[in-house]
Amino acid sequence: MVRYHILVTGKVQGVGFRRFTQKQAVNLKIVGWVRNKLDGTVEIEAEGKPQNMNDFITLLWQGPLRAVVDQVQSQPIRGLKGYRRFVIKRNG
C-alpha cells in the first residue's frame, strides 16, 4: 500500500471534479479524501495498492467532461493513515 498527496490544477472546480475523483477512487479501491482549495485547485490524499494508485492518477488527468486539467502533481507520503473509505471534504 502507498499514500500520496495530489494537487490538481486547471479548470477543476465547479465541474464535478470531486465527485468524479470519489467515483474513480471507489472503483479502484482507493481510500482517502478530496477537497477544493481556496486557490482554485483540488487537493487529494489517497491510499491504495501501487498499480491502483497509478491508474487513479492517470484518470485524474482526464477528469470529468467539463474539466480542463493543466497539471497533476503527486507526491508520495511515508506511512499510512488507515482510511476506511474515500470522502469529499469541505473546502480548505
Beta strands 31-36; 86-88: pairing state: parallel
18 among known catalytic residues: yes
CATH code, domain carrying 23: 3.30.70.100
Q: Catalytic pick from 18, 52, 54, 84?
A: 18
Residue 6's closest CA among 65, 55, 70, 76? 76
pTM above 0.75, yes or no: yes
Q: Catalytic pick from 36, 78, 84, 85?
A: 36
The pLDDT confidence band at residue 62, using thresholds 50, 70 and 90, is very high
Is residue 8 domain-resident? yes
* Phi and psi at residue 68, to the nearest 5°: -130, 105
d(CA 31, CA 33): 7
Is residue 75 domain-resident? no
Is residue 72 domain-resident? no
Residue numbers of the domain that contains 38: 2-67
Residue 43's closest CA among 1, 84, 64, 71? 71
Number of domains in the chain: 1
Q: Is the pLDDT of residue 16 over 80?
A: yes
The pLDDT confidence band at residue 69, using thresholds 50, 70 and 90, is very high
What does pLDDT average to over the chain? 97
Is residue 22 domain-resident? yes
**Tens-place pLDDT, residues 37-59:** 999 999 999 999 999 999 999 99
The pLDDT confidence band at residue 91, using thresholds 50, 70 and 90, is confident
The pLDDT confidence band at residue 90, using thresholds 50, 70 and 90, is confident
The SS3 of residue 80 is: coil
